[in-house]
Chains A and B, each alone.
Chain A
Amino acid sequence: MPGFSGGGVGGGVGGPVSAPPRPFRPSRYVPVSAATTFLVGSTTLFFCFTCPWLAEYVSAVIPIYNAVIFLFTLANFCMATFMDPGVFPRAEEDEDKEDDFRAPLYKTVEIKGIQVRMKWCSTCRFYRPPRCSHCSVCDNCVEDFDHHCPWVNNCIGRRNYRYFFLFLLSLTTHIMDVFGFGLVYVLHHRQQLDTPHAAVTMAVMCVAGLFFVPVAGLTGFHIVLVARGRTTNEQVTGKFRGGVNPFTNGCLRNISHVLCSSQAPRYMGRWRSPQAVEVQPPFLRPSLTEAQLEAKVLDNGIQNDRHSTRSKSSLDQMESQSADAEPPPPPKPELRYPGLPRADTEESSLLTEAPPTPSMYKYRPAYNSPGRNHTALSHPNKMIRGESLDSPSPSILQSSRQPSYRSEPSSLDGATVVGGSVGARRGGGERGEGPGGPGATGVTGGMSGYSLTGRSYTSYPSSLVLSAGGSRSSSLRSAQTAHNPLATLQSEGTTDTSYKSLANQTPRNGSLSYDSLLTPSESPEFESAAHELSPQKPHALFPLATGATITGQSEVVSPSSPLQGYTSPFLSAQIAQQREGQLLQGSATFSSPHRAYLRAVSPTPPSSSGPSETHHLLQHNQDSTSRALRAPSSSSSSPGVRSLEPPVSPPPRSLSLGKSHSYTGEAGPQHKPRSTGGGTVLGGGGAGGGQQAPQSTSRTVVANHTTSKPGGGVKKVTGVGGTTYEISV
């Protein structure tokens, strides 16, 4: 009996397809088939062999009673098996975009005075509501997740818990009945035990007796859970051990909630009513009252608590509510800090137009190593410019008015600004000063410093940084390749510890992000990030290297992912196209351990356009750091930085081509070493950084899973999140 638990494809005419079809796994059906067989088989035998005598010699009510109980058991069994447990549909792109890539891995919410953490689900792309958990078997987030029951091959959640509970109760009763009446029969036929009827009855009794112990045990366990208002998940993970359960309303209320509440609605496969309301301008506008104006200043609309992040991500790694394996999302950038001066109006405007979505971060496993935290804390000034924004705290980072800067993951720390440019130097210098930069506060200073630097090399940001973890404006990072990418990453990572992106950015060994990139999983965010990175305002200030680095980052983005929700105003179709090409190349580049730098050049545009493109990318990166964050791997090509050294490097394309070959051949293992270096890199490639260890390169790598054929010199690689990139070889 196949369970509905997955929800599969969203049904309904208007219903969106929320979950991808899963492969057929026959082993999943073994327990449920066995359970069904035993239940139906034994009961049938009981009815055929034992009941006739019982009806005749004891009472005619017995078979009827048994039949009723059996039907009730079967009905509950079927409901528990086939009913949607309360699967949440995947969040749509727009909703995800709302979270900056600095979004934290956890959000705390207060429930009846108790702080409860909501974890970011990278698969489903939202913060899991309280009591919700992601079932790895069904690959869905389930509301009020209890457990995944193999005997019914379904998750037990809000909608079907009642049926599961009643199934247990009725099954226990049924087993007791069968055993009891079988015993009566056997006791009356002690002298005729060799008859088939008696033999069958005894066999049925054995089966019943065998199953009675575990079933009764489980039933008792669930009776206690219902009385206490807890789910199996909460009980098993010890959530409220010694603490207070905020979800309980008292024993009686809990029981009545389970048994008497109205059937919860289905979220999947709903009939979506077509939009009947027409929205046409001109639009009415309310008059701005003083209160509104005031509110405008004070409130940025963010309603959720953001500061739950800090050290949790690393801890959370250990935690496992269910067999969740998805990487934590990148940290979410806080809303704009109202007090921060707008350093660059055009950048600001760019940012406001398209809030960056650091999906990359969200996909990154929360590898925020405690070590990283330490590093960051101990070296608050070391953060790259982008980092400096983050270092103070997620909230501060969030406050950054320039999302481009904010969102960039610090991981790319190593990717300092491409060498040679003023910005690069400044970036380096600013690192330490970041916090104490021009601005008054660390954040502000960092930001302003960043913005200043950013101006000089616009394109550095995000794209460079992007590398695995949606790095922050990589301008700083990419520029200074001299730093040990790992170190940089670490410092960066520390700041972002609490962020979802942290996990992505710089794993302890530096290869995490890279690996995560390699791991196929849905990571449309990478794509979008990459896209975001590439379109840049043309600033012809940066050295090509930087640009290249950036481009590399953007390259990682899978061409298939469109800019989501919004289009960068600066992104022309051409650039977008180029970007895609570059991304591919960039990812290919990553693979090669030697040259980690990203190849900004996309295969499609002519080589001559490469450099200009790079510039564009660089600029764009800076502006849309946050957006860029998405771009994975591309940034990681830090090793590539070396190759980028010449200010006007030859189109990366050629380089990447060479690399891609090596890349292609490489398997996963290669990524590891590469990723360590590469992680930081994305942007970092920072031309200046030439000396960076090869590690920087691989960070982002997408390349790892080269799945497709090198058609026409284009290789398809499966990156993190299952996105497929085409790398020109």
Chain B
Amino acid sequence: MVQDWRKLEVVDRCVADSYETPTMAETHSLQDLQQPAVSSKVFVQRDYSSGTICKFQTKFPSELESRVDKQQFEETIQTLNNLYAEAEKLGGKSYLEGCLACLTAYTIFLCMETHYEKVLKKIARYIKDQNEKIYAPRGLLLTDPIERGLRVVEITIFEDRSIGSGR
């Protein structure tokens, strides 16, 4: 709450003339320098049309229309879907891993990372990369779906303090 008040003050003082003077904004309030306020969150749900495999809907949420390109977003989600498909693939690698685990009475899990975990790390790197390159500059932030139990992709929309934007 306090944060909001401070922001309001800043806006008032700057005559709300958009962020043309970001420096002004910065000097005005410490809050501005730090992470901007979260305006809302969008949740991209799972796509269960092919079963319980991990796949997210590529439908472009309306709330993001003014923030990011549709193509870009869809590409991100599609890549994520591909990565998850790779993680869950029933291939020779996963089979061998299973056999090895059986033979070692599952003690192998103490030292070795499973295939899925490896791909999850890859996904985390990808998301971080996407955030840095594409989403953060647009005031958005993707949350790794693993933190939500692979149920949703949470996209945090940050307040845009430019004039005429959000609240």
Contacts and interface: CB of A to CB of B under 8 A. Distances in A.
Same complex origin of A and B: yes
B153 to A, nearest CB: 11
A129 interface: yes
A270 B61 contact: no
Contact of A265 (B25, B57, B116, B136): B116
Given A111-B49, A263-B116, A286 B68 contact: yes
Nearest to B99: A260
Contact of A295 (B62, B131, B132): B62
B139 to A, nearest CB: 4
B94 A261 contact: yes
A318 interface: no
Contacts of A79: 106
B151 to A, nearest CB: 6
Most chain B beta-carbon neighbours within 10 Å: one of A257, A262, A263, A285: A262
Interface in B12-52: 19, 22, 25, 35-36, 40-46, 48-52
Given A94-B41, A284-B138, A300 B62 contact: yes
Contact of A109 (B19, B48, B138, B167): B48
B80 interface: no
B80 to A, nearest CB: 15
Interface stretch (A272-280, A461-469, A637-645, A707-715): A272-280
A283 interface: yes
A595 to B, nearest CB: 34
Nearest to B143: A275
B109 A263 contact: yes
B116 A91 contact: no
Contact of A353 (B49, B114, B151, B167): B167
Interface string B102-133: 10011001000011110010001000100110
Contacts of B69: 286
A244 interface: no
Nearest to A89: B149
Nearest to A272: B147
A723 to B, nearest CB: 21
A4 interface: no
Contacts of A94: 41, 154
Nearest to B42: A301
A296 interface: yes
Contact of B146 (A265, A280, A567): A265
A292 interface: yes
A75 B101 CA distance: 10
A244 B69 CA distance: 40
A131 B46 CA distance: 14
A303 B61 contact: yes
Contact of A129 (B48, B60, B68, B105): B48
Interface residues of A, number: 71
B62 A98 contact: no
Contacts of B44: 303
A267 interface: yes
A126 to B, nearest CB: 6
A277 B162 CA distance: 21
B48 A260 contact: no
A501 B6 CA distance: 37
Given A112-B50, A260-B95, A303 B149 contact: no
Given A91-B148, A260-B94, A283 B62 contact: no
A277 B128 contact: yes
A162 B106 CA distance: 12
A405 to B, nearest CB: 20
A256 interface: yes
B157 to A, nearest CB: 10
A660 B98 CA distance: 62
A292 B73 CA distance: 13
A282 B165 CA distance: 11
Nearest to A354: B40
Given A89-B149, A285-B66, A567-B1, A95 B59 contact: no
A203 to B, nearest CB: 28
A55 to B, nearest CB: 23
Contacts of A144: 52
A281 B4 contact: no
B36 A280 contact: yes
A88 interface: yes
Contacts of A291: 70
A432 interface: no
A256 B92 CA distance: 11
A72 B102 contact: yes
Contact of A296 (B62, B88, B114): B62
A319 interface: no
Contact of B1 (A126, A270, A573): A573
B162 A283 contact: yes
A277 B155 CA distance: 13
A304 B43 CA distance: 11
Contacts of A143: 149
B137 A284 contact: yes
B48 A89 contact: no
Contact of B43 (A71, A98, A111, A162): A98
B105 A75 contact: yes
A439 interface: no
Contacts of B124: 273
Given A281-B161, A283-B160, A262 B115 contact: yes
Contacts of A126: 151
B1 to A, nearest CB: 6
A279 B158 contact: yes
A353 B37 CA distance: 13
Most chain A beta-carbon neighbours within 10 Å: one of B22, B45, B66, B154: B45
A246 interface: yes
Given A283-B137, A283-B162, 4 more contacts: A88-B151, A111-B50, A112-B50, A279-B141
27 contacts: A71-B105, A94-B154, A95-B154, A109-B48, A111-B50, A129-B48, A129-B151, A130-B48, A143-B149, A246-B51, A249-B51, A253-B90, A256-B95, A262-B88, A263-B97, A263-B116, A265-B120, A277-B128, A277-B131, A277-B136, A280-B136, A281-B25, A281-B161, A286-B67, A299-B62, A303-B45, A566-B40
